[in-house]
Amino acid sequence: MSNKIGLKEAMSIGIGGMVGGGIFAVLGLAVSLAQGGTPIAFFIAGILALITSYSYVKLSLVYPDSGGTVKFLNQGLGKNLFSGGLNNLLWISYIIMLGLYASAFGSYAPNLFSITGDTGIDTHLYSSMVVIFATAINYYSITVVSKIESYAVIIKLIILFVFIGIGTYGLIGNPYLSQLKPEHWEGPLNLLTGGMVIFVAYEGFELIANSASNIVNPEKNIPRAYYWSVIFVIALYMIIATVTVGSLSFSDISDAEDYVLAEAAKPMLGELGFTVMTVAALISTFSAINASLYGGSRVSYEIAEDDELPHELTSRLWNQPIGLLITAVLTLILVNTLNLESISTSGSVGFLLIFSMVNYSAFKLFKEINANKTITFLGFILCMVATCVLMAQQYSDNRLGVIVSISVIFSCFLMEFIYKKRKDT
């Protein structure tokens, strides 16, 4: 039986990876940072993802490998302390994304059923339970994981399209529509920062790289899969942001920051809309947790196989890579110690750094991969500038998120340094 995949399946991987829990987790945060300019913030982040996808296209065509990003970094930078540290950062960034999705699940779930009556405690309980349940499913059957993904992508897109359709109609005559006017936008620097904090909502396009070797007619379908899926998601996010900001007052959005999409469905469909969007958020975040646990455990396996982490990580526990259990445990620690904004900032910093170095790898290998030097270098510079702007702006408003980000990056390189030293002695 062939395991080849066509354009539709490849696009589903990219769209499913991006429209996972990201939009449900970070939309409220985006509005708090960019106000009426939230659609522009999503556009800025999307353009950066689109430029970076050019490097991924070129690298995927020449180096199709299940290792994806890990392979590209090793190819462009060589297998050394620097590439090893970056690959460790990729694994930790997966764990940060898991924390983000689990936190979002925990924020939405108590609106349907409260366990203790205390929202704070319920959030932590639900966040922890969903990680444990998804880990059990990953151990039980990878087939079940892929089936959940294929159904979840369809369900969440249908619900989001219904939300957009009804929401767009509901904007007619809505008094909050004026909030989208430029006078309600934050300044250019805040719009950029807002876009970068929510950059995690786009990182999923890189999952296409892991399937590049199985895509039929790669010369045509790999570029289409990347570009079309990113462009589709940019449009989707901008419309969702427009409907949300035009439907609720800024104060209402702030009050419901962690579950704002459900709140935005209320003016159109009342409590039924709130419940339906809450269910959609739970399905989306659960499917994202499921897929990211699988992806994270594979990344740790690939890094260990490339001799950049101890070979013990290639061993199996209960018929799955031991990285699956480590990934799950670290996610549980993360969701029970950090808030959503700190998790989102850390995830965005991690992926911006990784993407900047993927762009740099493409720039270095431009002859081998037949890439445009200007576009790849532009991607590298823009990702680096975005990382610096994000860290500088967040330092005053979200110092914990910046400290966590720097600590994570330092730890990833320290971990690699210690491993290399021990290996050489």
* CB-CB contact of 260 with 243 (8 Å): no
Quickly state the pLDDT bin for 8 (edges 50, 70, 90).
confident
CA angle 241, 396, 179 (to 5 degrees): 25
Give the pLDDT score at 398: 80
Give the pLDDT score at 20: 67
Place of tokens 């007052």: 249
CA angle 283, 288, 294 (to 5 degrees): 130
Least confident window among 31-40, 72-81, 310-319: 310-319
Structure-model confidence comparison of residues 65 and 129, the more confident one = 129
Report the distance separating Cα 370 and Cα 255, nearest Å: 50
* CB-CB contact of 264 with 243 (8 Å): yes
Give the pLDDT score at 146: 67
The stretch 299-316 carries a mean pLDDT of 79
- Please tell me what DSSP assigns to residue 214: G
* CB-CB contact of 83 with 417 (8 Å): no
Report the distance separating Cα 21 and Cα 4, nearest Å: 27
The stretch 116-142 carries a mean pLDDT of 88
* CB-CB contact of 189 with 392 (8 Å): no
Element (H, E) at 87: helix 81-108
The stretch 53-71 carries a mean pLDDT of 92
Highest mean pLDDT among 160-169, 180-189, 225-234, 397-406: 225-234
pLDDT tens-digit map of 175-226? 888 899 999 898 888 888 888 878 888 988 888 888 888 889 999 999 999 9
Rounded percentage of the chain residues whose pLDDT exceeds 90: 33
- Residue type at position 148: I
Least confident window among 86-95, 287-296, 400-409: 287-296
Q: What stretches of 198-322 show up as alpha helix (H) in DSSP?
A: 207-210, 218-247, 250-255, 260-264, 266-305
| Domains with residue ranges and CATH for the chain | 7-424 (1.20.1740.10)
Q: What stretches of 109-181 show up as alpha helix (H) in DSSP?
A: 119-140, 142-170
Give the pLDDT score at 52: 96
Mean pLDDT of the chain: 87
344-378: b (≥16 Cβ within 10 Å) or e: bbbbbbbbbbbbbbbbbbbbbbbeebebeeebbbe
* CB-CB contact of 256 with 68 (8 Å): no
Give the pLDDT score at 1: 36
Is residue 310 predicted with pLDDT exceeding 70?
yes
Give the pTM: 0.87
Give the pLDDT score at 256: 84
Is residue 274 predicted with pLDDT exceeding 70?
yes
pLDDT tens-digit map of 355-366? 999 999 999 999
Report the distance separating Cα 190 and Cα 352, nearest Å: 17
Q: Crossing angle, helix 373-397 and helix 188-197, to 10 degrees?
A: 100
Least confident window among 46-60, 176-190, 301-315, 350-364: 301-315
Is residue 232 predicted with pLDDT exceeding 70?
yes
Quickly state the pLDDT bin for 2 (edges 50, 70, 90).
very low
Residue 317, strand partner residues = 320
Rounded percentage of the chain residues whose pLDDT exceeds 70: 98
Quickly state the pLDDT bin for 308 (edges 50, 70, 90).
confident
Report the distance separating Cα 181 and Cα 104, nearest Å: 29
User: What are the Cα distances from residue 286, in Å, to 127, 184, 230?
Assistant: 10, 34, 22
